[in-house]
Amino acid sequence: MRSPISIPALARYCGGVWLVGIALCAAEVTRERIPTPAGELVLYPIQHATLALQGGDRVVYVDPVGGAARFEGVPKPTLVLVTDIHGDHFHLETLQAVAGEAVPLLAPSAVVEKLPTALRSRATTLDAGQRREVGGVLVEAIAAYNTTPERLRYHAKGRGVGFVIALAGQRIYVSGDTEDVPEMRALENITVALVSMNLPYTMTVEQAADAVRAFRPKRVYPYHCRGSDLEKFKALVGADAGVEVRLLDWYRP
């Protein structure tokens, strides 16, 4: 569920006590609580491609960019994942700030090569098709790339990845920047999927819906989806595949 208190509502509530209002409003963070047989999973949709996932005492940040202040109100990470080298996924200052002195990192080679020595020393390279347990979390890297000729220049095969993350006894898929590649379509036993859809960088809502109907996660969240017709995506996924579509606001000011 979304937090029941929206920022505008909270701002109105804060009303005359302006300073208190600012403090309360700044602390607001959106949480999506997902019940599972093994306990609650919490998704924090931070912005665009940036998110956090919590299952039990494990907290995984994915693609932290935009400054550490975006993570106020979110538990500290026990693992940080980066999917690709572009600025909406990899921002060194934010990464250094949220990872502090000890949090392990997992990223594909192209990202690890860009890290300064101190950060690289506790980064584990995970390229497509590989899986490793780091920080008590099993993570598998799934290939992420463009397949449409005019989009190949954005994400060449072999560089970026998506991840399947094991948390709260569930498999959570975060697609990274990709089209509906066979590696996505072949996924199995996914409880929660976060799937990118925007042009010209990733894919159309038609492609995304078709892929989701192929690998059938129990629940899907569009993300990395600025400008996309998400109601159309929801309609295309339909009700017959057993996939619940959940729409969140990834572009709050």
Residue 185 beta carbon to Zn ion: minimum distance, rounded to whole angstroms? 20
DSSP-H helix ranges across the chain:
7-14, 18-27, 92-99, 109-112, 117-120, 182-185, 205-215, 230-237
Half-sphere exposure of 53 (CA within 13 A, CB side): 26
Give the integer Cα–Cα distance in Å for 192 and 210.
Answer: 16
Q: Which is nearer to Zn ion, 140 or 177 (CB)?
A: 177
Half-sphere exposure of 105 (CA within 13 A, CB side): 31
Q: Which is nearer to Zn ion, 54 or 146 (CB)?
A: 146
Using rule CB under 5 A, residue 177 touches Zn ion: yes
Q: Which is nearer to Zn ion, 55 or 176 (CB)?
A: 176
Q: How far is CA 199 from the centre of its chain?
A: 18
Q: Which is nearer to Zn ion, 134 or 177 (CB)?
A: 177
Residue 24 beta carbon to Zn ion: minimum distance, rounded to whole angstroms? 32
Q: Which is nearer to Zn ion, 58 or 91 (CB)?
A: 91
Residue 20 beta carbon to Zn ion: minimum distance, rounded to whole angstroms? 37
Hey, which residues between 27 and 86 contact Zn ion (CB under 5 A)? Answer: none
Report the candidate in 224, 222, 232 with the shortest Cα–Cα distance to residue 154. 224
Using rule CB under 5 A, residue 179 touches Zn ion: no
The only residue of 45, 55, 62, 88 in contact with Zn ion, by rule CB under 5 A = 88
DSSP-H helix ranges across 44-171:
92-99, 109-112, 117-120
Q: Which residues make up the interface to Zn ion (CB under 5 A)? A: 88, 177
